[in-house]
Amino acid sequence: DVKVTQSSRYLVKRTGEKVFLECVQDMDHENMFWYRQDPGLGLRLIYFSYDVKMKEKGDIPEGYSVSREKKERFSLILESASTNQTSMYLCASSLAGYNQPQHFGDGTRLSIL
Amino acid sequence: KNEVEQSPQNLTAQEGEFITINCSYSVGISALHWLQQHPGGGIVSLFMLSSGKKKHGRLIATINIQEKHSSLHITASHPRDSAVYICAAKIQGAQKLVFGQGTRLTINP
């Protein structure tokens, strides 16, 4: 079974801090995704990566950056955290190619105080 | 208007009832996913379908490409089916998914 592991289930940070959310997958998937999930808005794509060192902006990239130095690891970075970035963050991965299912991690509930 | 719309947003039913959750989309898709999210956050993929019907245990998913509509059915519902069910459309020619807002299902014993 595919395992997508997010480093923290719950995280509390302060406004202005630099925050790193880590995601690791163990199935050699080419694609990796970062989403945030907010009540009433559903899941929205922040960034995705289709290969090492490659990234593309999703629908809401403002205030975030990403890093993919190794195939199995995809990091989401909040350069200067703000209260409106309090949310549930979900990582997913998939094989490249047509119609491959995405496999999700358990999510990180991030609170910015 | 969202590209993917789900209905109802909330659904409460008694154990044993037949459940239907609907998903309509307005974009060209290559596949449609049904996902399940339990309290606590983790998301599990239930189905991915691009035509017809798929069945897994008590869950059935159907899609009508011409009408741009998909349904998720649960037969003989059980309290452990209580979760948020999310449909997500795989946009044609793209890697991204577009998500519906989810349907919160509560099955009472």
| In chain A, residues 24-63 whose CB comes closer than 8 Å to chain B | 31, 40-45, 48, 50, 58
Number of Cβ atoms within 10 Å of the Cβ of A51:
12
Helical (H) or strand (E) element with B12: strand B10-14
A19 within 8 A of A77, measured Cβ to Cβ? yes
In sequence order, which residues have a C-beta less than 8 Å from that of residue B54 and are 6 or more positions away? B47, B60, B61
Which chain A residue shows the shortest CA-CA distance from B91? A99
B105 within 8 A of B21, measured Cβ to Cβ? yes
> Per-residue pLDDT tens for B54-99?
999 999 999 999 999 999 999 999 999 999 999 999 888 777 789 9
**Whether A102 contacts chain B with CB within 8 A:** yes
* pLDDT band at residue A71 under the 50/70/90 scheme: very high
Contacts of A105 in chain B (CB under 8 A): 42
Which among B92, B37, B89 has a CA at the least distance from the CA of B63? B89
d(CA B57, CA B75): 9
d(CA B81, CA B74): 8
CA-derived radius of gyration, chain B: 13
- DSSP-assigned beta bridge partners for residue A51: A54
Higher per-residue pLDDT: A25 or A99: A25
**Chain A, chain B: beta-carbon pairs less than 8 Å apart:** 52
d(CA A87, CA A15): 14
Nearest Cα of chain B lies from the Cα of A57 at a distance, in angstroms, of 11
Q: Say yes or no to pLDDT of B1 above 70.
A: no
Contact at CB, B30 and A98, closer than 8 angstroms: yes
Q: Give the whole-number percent of chain B exceeding pLDDT 90.
A: 77
Determine the residue among B3, B44, B95, B104 to mutate to test chain A binding: the one whose Cβ has the most chain A Cβ atoms within 10 Å: B95
Q: Which residue among A41, A88, A101 places its CB closest to the CB of B33?
A: A101
Which chain B residue shows the shortest CA-CA distance from A96? B95
Higher per-residue pLDDT: B93 or B11: B11
Taken in order A45, A51, A56, A61, the sign of the CA dihedral is positive
Helix, strand, coil percent content, chain B, rounded in steps of 5: 5, 60, 35
d(CA A104, CA B55): 22
**Whether A11 contacts chain B with CB within 8 A:** no
Contacts of A74 in chain B (CB under 8 A): none
Q: Say yes or no to pLDDT of A109 above 90.
A: yes
Which among A87, A86, A90 has a CA at the least distance from the CA of A107? A90
d(CA A49, CA A56): 6
Tokens read off for B26? 């307005």
